[in-house]
Amino acid sequence: MKKRIGISYTKTNFQNYWNWFTSEDLKDDIELVKLSFEENNTEEIFTCDGFVLTGGIDIDPSFYNANASYANAPDGFQKDRDLFEKKIFEYSQLHQLPLLGICRGMQLVNVLQGGKLLQDLSASNNIHKKEDKDKEHEVVAETNSLLSEITRSSSGKINSAHHQAIDKNAVGKDLKISAYSKSDDKTVEALEFNDKAGKGFMLCVQWHPERLNGKEESPFSQNIKQRFLAEIRKITMEKIALINPATEEVIEYVNEDTQQTLEEKFKQLRKAQPAWASVPVKERVDCIRRFVSLIDKYKDELAKTLTSEMGKPLQQSHNELNGAKAKIQFFLDNSEKWLAEEWINKDGATKEKIVYEPLGVIANISAWNYPYLVAINVVIPALIGGNAVFYKPSEYTILTGMHIQKMMYEAGVHEHCFELAIGKGSVGATLLQLPLNGYFFTGSYKTGKFIAEKIAHKLVPCQLELGGKDPLYVMDDVEDINAIASNVLEGVIYNNGQSCCAVERVYVHEKIYDAFVKSYTEQAKKLVAGDPMDAKTEIGPLSRKEQVDFLIGQIEDAKEKGATVLCGGNKINGKGYFIEPTVLVNVNHGMKVMKEESFGPVIGIQKVKDDEEAVALMQDTEYGLTAAVYSKSFERAEKIMKQMNTGTVYWNCCDRVSGALPWSGRKHSGLGSTLSYQGIRAFVQPKAYHIRG
Ligand code: NAD
């Protein structure tokens, strides 16, 4: 895996920075990445091992509280560039990654650290401003500076092409000047950290080493570059390979968070949350409304990323985005009502009311199968409720998590109120050690139980949306068996069967069993498996490699115990984590496929003699997420639905979630509810006011 240097894009002379790093410099272990404010490719920042902040147009003076009209001011500023490069700088500091600031890059570092700039030098001294070509003059490096250590010279000739400079009376926090121009004006020519302990390598220079005359020999170019490259090569970041499950190719290597970066992000969340909580609910709702329009704006890119990360067919990625918008609509329409203060008693000597206050900073540790849908259950009402959110996307959908964060900030969520925890389970486990005010988890029972046990002593809210082994019963009075079989099949295989509320086992009344199985199997055989980017594809790959063997294990176990495979049953050979849609009959509850969550396009269909037997089998599970009954008669179906110990029941439908209804699991399927008004109130705490006088 190559190390990556991110170079910030500038409209002027970008190629000079790029070409400065020759193929001899980069060898076969470093590559360059263009970080472009125009493309807003924030995700790429998270893949880099070091950065170059380049030169270019003046920084927007609002960054250092200065007036925008000054001599030689540009016609317009590029605030989006400043903000994008701010992200780069902050990321480099968070992870202690090497940073080289050049010209404007140095000025940006100074203002981001709270320093100021001289807005125009030309009136007093014109030795710096480029005319038809760069100016040249001498600089003097401070002794005992990083710069002099690198250049091994106390002075040298550099080039110059700027009309702004560091205000030496307003140098940013923790920075020190390490070179001045030799002439009388003593313009600041280099900056570095004063105390370097606990910080990454950083050197900032006002000149342009990338285009300095004689740069190959000059220690003020060559030595700086070589030292920067050496620092990049020293970086040992833990990286996660994001694999496309359809092709098994690496999409990207992303840097993992560490204990230290998570602690730092938590501090920022804690600091930022009160101001967010003080924003009126209506404005927070409007912010989420903008988030919804951004989903629309970027839908094609978002859908492609989602499909490439976790393998669902592209149309289903679009469906997920549309579903997310529909679910969010419930929160947009109802949050103000459910978060408003409630007067319980307005009369009498002592008045009483309830005020709903945010929990504070909450964690959302999330799953990969529906990364938008499962995240919005939590992060939308949490933000609307005034909380800051530490969002941990699954390690299988990190890019989607990054997209969500980017859109949150673009929509107007306050800076640092929506931070990402990037990494595998160990990163999630680190969040459990931090003093968060609530934990909202979506994932497996195993991890949910671990989380609940680990945080129990904190006595903060803990909500768990876990797995299921959801049953579906087809009664003997149904009329259109083909239509029902088609509906059930969709409930089994949609999202490649990787839905928490996917149909996981089917019971069919003996009177219609043969007809149902025939129809179901015929339809299953017609399913098109293949490239999830292809519009014809109905079955994509499973998201995780190990899941293929897990499902084959369930199928083999069932076969050994007497099951018959009517369709599928095998891995699909070639690249990608594909398995054939599989139908098993002659199954019973001694088989794993009828008891363990499958999470794939595999189904066991069992014959039952009557409703009583169906109920007993449907209830024979550790889980309690959903249960579905298909019948002509609501009364008959309702008798069964009432007996289900599940958070959701369906009559003549399945595998469905509504924003207006509570989503909750019982037994090993979860704890607490999201969605509906319960899912708004879940992210606030009531305060009782007793008001006398
Ligand atoms: P998982 O439990 O493996 O991982 C979920 C998240 O927990 C990931 O972000 C993971 O990195 C993190 N994690 C893993 N170990 C951790 C630890 N020790 N401490 C803290 N965090 C840890 O689950 P998954 O494979 O991502 O998701 C699939 C499961 O999620 C299935 O069981 C599915 O049914 C369930 N699910 C439930 C719902 C629901 O609404 N009930 C929705 C979607 C998925």
CA–centroid distance, 546 to ligand 1, in Å, is: 15
* Alpha carbon nearest to ligand 1 atom 43, residue: 500
Give the model's pLDDT for residue 124: 63
Q: Which domain holds residue 490?
A: 470-659
Q: Is 436 in the pocket of ligand 1 (CB under 6 A)?
A: no
Give the model's pLDDT for residue 131: 72
Give the model's pLDDT for residue 134: 83
CA–centroid distance, 469 to ligand 1, in Å, is: 15
Give the model's pLDDT for residue 123: 65
Sign of CA dihedral 181, 185, 187, 193: positive
Q: Is 392 in the pocket of ligand 1 (CB under 6 A)?
A: yes
How far apart are the C-alpha atoms of 687 and 354, rounded to whole Å?
6
Q: Is 372 in the pocket of ligand 1 (CB under 6 A)?
A: no
* Alpha carbon nearest to ligand 1 atom 40, residue: 465
Residue 670 lies in a domain: no
Residue 144 lies in a domain: yes
Residue 669 lies in a domain: no
Domain-ending residue, one of 234, 269, 291: 234
Give the model's pLDDT for residue 129: 72
Decide if 572 contacts 529 (C-beta within 8 A): yes
* Alpha carbon nearest to ligand 1 atom 23, residue: 443
Do 152 and 297 lie in one domain? The reply is no
Active site residue 462: no
Residue 512 lies in a domain: yes
Residue 247 lies in a domain: no
Tell me the CATH number at 369.
3.40.605.10
Residue type present at position 225: K
Pocket test for ligand 1, best of 259, 309, 373, 394 (most atoms within 8 A of CB): 394
Q: Is 674 in the pocket of ligand 1 (CB under 6 A)?
A: no
How far apart are the C-alpha atoms of 110 and 443, rounded to whole Å?
44
Residue 251 lies in a domain: no
Express each pLDDT in 324-375 by its tens digit: 999 999 999 999 999 999 999 999 899 999 999 999 999 999 999 999 999 9
User: Would you call 188 helix, strand, or coil by DSSP?
Assistant: strand
Q: For residue 328, how far is the Cα from the chain centroid?
A: 17
Q: Is 455 in the pocket of ligand 1 (CB under 6 A)?
A: no
* Alpha carbon nearest to ligand 1 atom 34, residue: 467
CB within 8 A of 397, min separation 6: which ones? Answer: 306, 309, 310, 368, 371
How far apart are the C-alpha atoms of 43 and 402, rounded to whole Å?
6
Residue keyed to tokens 């997310």: 324
For residue 193, pLDDT over 80 is answered with: yes
Torsion of Cα atoms, 675 then 395 then 533 then 467, to 10°: -40
CA–centroid distance, 367 to ligand 1, in Å, is: 5
Do 450 and 522 lie in one domain? The reply is no
How far apart are the C-alpha atoms of 225 and 208, rounded to whole Å?
12
Q: Report percent pLDDT > 70 for the chain.
A: 99
* Alpha carbon nearest to ligand 1 atom 15, residue: 425
Express each pLDDT in 439-497 by its tens digit: 999 999 999 999 999 999 999 999 999 999 999 999 999 999 999 999 999 999 999 99
How far apart are the C-alpha atoms of 651 and 374, rounded to whole Å?
23
How far apart are the C-alpha atoms of 337 and 680, rounded to whole Å?
10
Query: Among residues 85, 210, 256, 465, which one is catalytic?
Result: 465
Decide if 437 contacts 401 (C-beta within 8 A): no
Residue type present at position 237: M
Q: Is 160 in the pocket of ligand 1 (CB under 6 A)?
A: no
Domain-ending residue, one of 219, 234, 249: 234
CB within 8 A of 545, min separation 6: which ones? Answer: 243, 245, 577
Decide if 641 contacts 627 (C-beta within 8 A): yes
Do 302 and 194 lie in one domain? The reply is no
Pocket test for ligand 1, best of 240, 242, 369, 543 (most atoms within 8 A of CB): 369
How far apart are the C-alpha atoms of 465 and 224, rounded to whole Å?
52
Pocket test for ligand 1, best of 254, 365, 462, 465 (most atoms within 8 A of CB): 365
Do 453 and 493 lie in one domain? The reply is no
Domain-ending residue, one of 169, 199, 234: 234
> Count of domains in the chain?
3
CA–centroid distance, 166 to ligand 1, in Å, is: 49
How far apart are the C-alpha atoms of 457 and 22, rounded to whole Å?
56
Residue 373 lies in a domain: yes
Express each pLDDT in 553-592 by its tens digit: 999 999 999 999 999 999 999 999 999 999 999 999 999 9
Burial class (CB in 10 A: 0-12, 13-18, 19+), 157: middle
Tell me the CATH number at 493.
3.40.309.10
Do 143 and 117 lie in one domain? The reply is yes
Mean pLDDT, range 497-502, rounded to an integer: 97
Express each pLDDT in 262-306 by its tens digit: 999 999 999 999 999 999 999 999 999 999 999 999 999 999 999
CA–centroid distance, 366 to ligand 1, in Å, is: 6
DSSP 8-state code for residue 678? H
Neighbours of 248 (CB within 10 A): 13
Express each pLDDT in 75-102 by its tens digit: 999 999 999 999 999 999 999 999 999 9
Give the model's pLDDT for residue 581: 97
CA–centroid distance, 670 to ligand 1, in Å, is: 12
Q: Is 401 in the pocket of ligand 1 (CB under 6 A)?
A: no
Query: Among residues 103, 500, 501, 654, which one is catalytic?
Result: 500
Which residues lie across from 5 on neighbouring strands?
32, 50
| Lowest-pLDDT range of 60-74, 130-144, 517-531 | 130-144
Q: Please identify, by atom number, the ligand 1 atom nearest to the C-alpha of residue 544.
A: 25
Q: Please identify, by atom number, the ligand 1 atom nearest to the C-alpha of residue 368.
A: 26
Do 460 and 476 lie in one domain? The reply is no
Active site residue 613: no
Q: Is 465 in the pocket of ligand 1 (CB under 6 A)?
A: yes
Residue 243 lies in a domain: no
Do 274 and 171 lie in one domain? The reply is no
Tell me the CATH number at 153.
3.40.50.880
Rg (CA), the chain: 30
Express each pLDDT in 97-141 by its tens digit: 999 999 999 999 999 999 999 999 876 666 677 777 788 889 999
Q: Please identify, by atom number, the ligand 1 atom nearest to the C-alpha of residue 669.
A: 41
How far apart are the C-alpha atoms of 617 and 622, rounded to whole Å?
12
Q: Is 424 in the pocket of ligand 1 (CB under 6 A)?
A: yes
CA–centroid distance, 109 to ligand 1, in Å, is: 39
Do 637 and 606 lie in one domain? The reply is yes
Give the model's pLDDT for residue 125: 60
**The two structure tokens encoding residue 574:** 């070639």
Express each pLDDT in 219-232 by its tens digit: 999 999 999 999 99
The model carries a pTM of: 0.95
Closest by CA to 285, choosing from 384, 385, 389, is 384
Do 113 and 49 lie in one domain? The reply is yes
Q: Is 655 in the pocket of ligand 1 (CB under 6 A)?
A: no
Q: Is 500 in the pocket of ligand 1 (CB under 6 A)?
A: yes
Q: Report percent pLDDT > 90 for the chain.
A: 95
Do 217 and 264 lie in one domain? The reply is no
Give the model's pLDDT for residue 183: 81
Residue keyed to tokens 């003549």: 652
Q: For residue 95, how far is the Cα from the chain centroid?
A: 18
CA–centroid distance, 424 to ligand 1, in Å, is: 11
Strands (E) located in 542-637: 564-567, 582-585, 602-608, 623-624, 626-630
Q: Please identify, by atom number, the ligand 1 atom nearest to the C-alpha of residue 448.
A: 2
User: Would you call 584 helix, strand, or coil by DSSP?
Assistant: strand
How far apart are the C-alpha atoms of 489 and 568, rounded to whole Å?
14
Q: Please identify, by atom number, the ligand 1 atom nearest to the C-alpha of residue 424.
A: 11
Return the H-helix or E-strand segment holding 364.
Answer: strand 361-365
User: Would you call 653 helix, strand, or coil by DSSP?
Assistant: coil
Do 166 and 188 lie in one domain? The reply is yes
Give the model's pLDDT for residue 135: 80
Which residues lie across from 50 on neighbouring strands?
5
Do 575 and 553 lie in one domain? The reply is yes
